[in-house]
A and B are shown apart, each in its own frame.
Chain A
Amino acid sequence: MSGSSSGNETVEYIQHHLTNLCVGDCDPVTHKAVGFWALHIDTVFFSVALGVLMIVVSARLGRNLVTGTPGGFQNFVEMIIDFVSGQVKDTFPGHNPLIAPLALTIFVWVWLMNFMDLIPVDLLPLIASGVLGIEYLKVVPTTDLNTTMAMALTVFALILYYNIKVKGVLGYLKMFVFHPFGKFFIPVNIVMSTIEELAKPLSLGLRLFGNLFAGELVFLLIALIGGTMAVGLGALIWFPLQVVLDLGWLIFHLLVITLQAFIFMVLTIVYLAMAHTEDH
């Protein structure tokens, strides 16, 4: 009996943490989006807030640049810029002034959104419900498929734009008709090339979402160790275990969030580089 109720609480806890603050076309019971005009306010808020933070910090740093011996933070930012600029130089053929700033923005913004995963899972939802009376709050924007697919589709729009700009409309369409099997398999070529193009935004968006969603789920499961299992003296065993596991996963996840931001950036550069080459 108690086991079953504890199980229900566990499921409720996880479901509650994985539910966005939805307004518009949302189900009144499950709070999931049911129509097109459903907005995940928490995702929008945190992604925009982190974007604004990035702009404000960059603007302040830009105004106070020091030549000669720069301070610690300027050094750190210069190191990131050098790293991204090096990646673009290595990968991108020719010159396009948009690519390096785009890559840097993607890398820093995705990293910041991923970093929200490292904030204790209950902290912000508790503050939101206690102070503001907000029932649902999902703080990591990249664990929402809408964010990752929106970013992937934006990159995809740029890929289409540069493909048409560099190759011309006819050149781009020729790629669909004659690639990869030549002129004797035109229907197959069209389908294969369409699938190949569609796979680009799909793989970009789903990879980031999958990794971060899984990461958050592990944090929730670790949080449950201390929450539902620790009663009385049991807490002496479960609480230290929770701390050790949480710390271990946090350190490992720091690597994951950086790697995922890096992969998103690198694949954006590579796909745009492919769009800039005449032969595809």
Chain B
Amino acid sequence: MSEQKGPGLLLIGVGTMLTSMTVAGFGLGLFVDYWLDTQPLFMLIFGGLGIVGGIIKVHGLLSKLG
């Protein structure tokens, strides 16, 4: 089907995808930290997961194209 073109166009946002995954990870961690009063535990864990997730996602997109 036309799904081939979806990831291709999504490449436009690869740069911001990596950064926004990282920011979203840190943001979510910060929120959980404020909620549970555990600064900075979850911010570091979720921030790290955001970076890893961003790299995996970008790698997946680039692999699909290649």
Contact = CB atoms under 8 A, between A and B. Distances in A.
For chain A, give the interface size range. 20 to 34
B2 interface: yes
Interface stretch (A85-93, A113-121, A216-224): A85-93
A192 B6 CA distance: 21
B10 A92 contact: no
B53 A92 contact: no
A250 interface: no
Contacts of A195: 21, 24-25, 28, 46, 49-50, 53
Nearest to A192: B53
B12 A266 contact: yes
B20 to A, nearest CB: 4
B36 interface: no
Interface string B9-36: 1101100110111011101100000000
| Residue from A192, A206, A266 whose CB has the most chain B CB atoms within 10 Å | A192
A194 interface: yes
Contacts of A191: 25, 28, 46, 49
Contact of A199 (B5, B9, B17, B56): B17
B27 A198 contact: yes
A93 B3 CA distance: 7
Interface of A: 89-93, 180, 188, 191-192, 194-196, 198-200, 202-203, 206-207, 263, 266-267, 269-270, 273-274, 277
Interface of B: 1-3, 5-6, 9-10, 12-13, 16-17, 19-21, 23-25, 27-28, 46, 49-50, 53-54, 56-57
11 contacts: A90-B5, A93-B1, A191-B46, A194-B28, A195-B21, A195-B25, A196-B24, A198-B28, A199-B50, A202-B24, A203-B17
